[in-house]
Amino acid sequence: MAKLYFNFSAMNAGKSTLLLQASYNYQERGMRSLLFTAALDNRTKVGEISSRIGLKSDALIYDTELDLFACIEEQLKEQQINAVFIDEAQFLTEDQVWQLARVADHLRIPVMAYGLRTDFQGKMFPGSAALLAIADILREVRTICWCGSKATMVARMDESGNIVEEGDQVVIGGEESYISLCRKHWSMRKLGEQLKTRMRSLTSCANL
């Protein structure tokens, strides 16, 4: 029986790298994988999944209005689909998560979603909350805080490299805007000195 998987982590844990590697494994065996990424994510090219280590692949884009079940069912009429991969799954709506569950249950295609669990304020994204509630398999992709402990939280940085505590839930950015911290140092709003210097450097480069 096909399953719905949710692979979650803090920022910069390598989720996109894992997604692209898993998709490649299917393609290498002559199977077809269908990739989706959020229309909101414009850090590189819209409609492209890109990892920090240089791997990339074109993908279909989804916004909050797209019926993912109908879209995948239509794609299935053209060619067999062996797996569906969803990048930036935190941006899914609750309805879309249920649509993906229907893909696994009724179309019998495994669905692997990758995304953040919480935002910079420690609050759950709607898509992530729904995935945590109904996914068959939950997998944590681990990364570490500057102190060496497991990072579970995401902090947002301003242009000066200071932690931001208020603002919109969704502000697109990468290493220059977000950093992963353990719960202790996220609560303390504390960065190590080396990390402060690195974040200021990344922010300066992004503003050039």
pLDDT at 14: 82
* pLDDT tens for each residue of 91-150: 999 999 999 999 999 999 999 999 999 988 888 999 999 999 999 999 999 888 989 999
Do residues 9 and 142 lie in contact, with contact meaning Cβ atoms separated by under 8 Å?
yes
Coil vs helix vs strand at 105: helix
pLDDT at 20: 94
Catalytic residue (one of 88, 94, 140, 166): 88
**Residues 186, 87 within the same domain:** no
**Residues 136, 155 within the same domain:** no
CATH number at residue 79: 3.40.50.300
Q: Is the pLDDT of residue 8 over 90?
A: yes
**Residues 164, 70 within the same domain:** no
pLDDT at 82: 97
Asked about 28 being catalytic, the answer comes back as no
pLDDT at 159: 73
**Residues 185, 107 within the same domain:** no
Q: What is the span of the domain harbouring residue 190?
A: 150-206
CA distances from 142 to 7, 22, 83, 131 (A): 10, 17, 23, 18
Region of 47 on the Ramachandran plot (φ > 0 left; ψ -120 to 50 alpha; else beta): left
Q: Is the pLDDT of residue 208 over 70?
A: no
Angle between helices 94-106 and 68-78 (to 10 degrees): 40
* pLDDT tens for each residue of 142-195: 888 989 999 989 888 877 677 887 776 666 555 667 888 999 999 888 887 656
Coil vs helix vs strand at 129: helix
CATH number at residue 172: 3.30.60
Cα angle at 186 between 89 and 193, to 5 degrees?
Answer: 115
* pLDDT tens for each residue of 44-91: 666 788 777 778 888 999 999 999 999 999 999 989 999 999 999 999
pLDDT at 60: 94
Coil vs helix vs strand at 205: helix
pLDDT class of 204 with cuts at 50, 70, 90? low
pLDDT class of 22 with cuts at 50, 70, 90? very high
- Number of domains the chain contains: 2
Q: Say which residue, 207 or 58, is predicted with more confidence.
A: 58
pLDDT at 200: 57
Any alpha helices (H) in the chain, and if so which ranges?
A: 15-28, 68-78, 94-106, 126-134, 183-188, 193-206
Q: What is the pTM of this model?
A: 0.82
**Residues 122, 167 within the same domain:** no
**Residues 118, 158 within the same domain:** no
Token match 């505590």: residue?
165
